[in-house]
Amino acid sequence: MELHFLGAQSQAILPYDQSLHMLSAYLQQAEMESNGKSVNWDGEAITYPTVPSIWGELGINGQHAFYQYLHQSNNIVPADFIGSVESVTPIKGHHEALMSNFFA
């Protein structure tokens, strides 16, 4: 029984908004702690993967850390890119530059 998208063992969460900087960590705790079990409700061993490893970083930080891996590795890693329609930063042109990186 395979529960992971395309058999992937991990999933990347890539927000492009400073206000979401803890989203990846939150989802790690929520998903991996809740579902990352080796036994079922009856205490019997589970013989299939229960949850992928969840990881990620703010978009710009991640671009300089692991995006080459996502683009060029032969490992399949589903990636959720999350952008904001409106800026929460009052710096002129900041959101437009950030979104151009997001779409690239």
Active site residues: 33, 64
Longest dimension (CA), the chain: 57
**CA nearest neighbour of 37 among 46, 29, 28:** 46
CA atoms within 13 Å, Cβ hemisphere of 19: 8
Distance CA 80, CA 91 (A): 26
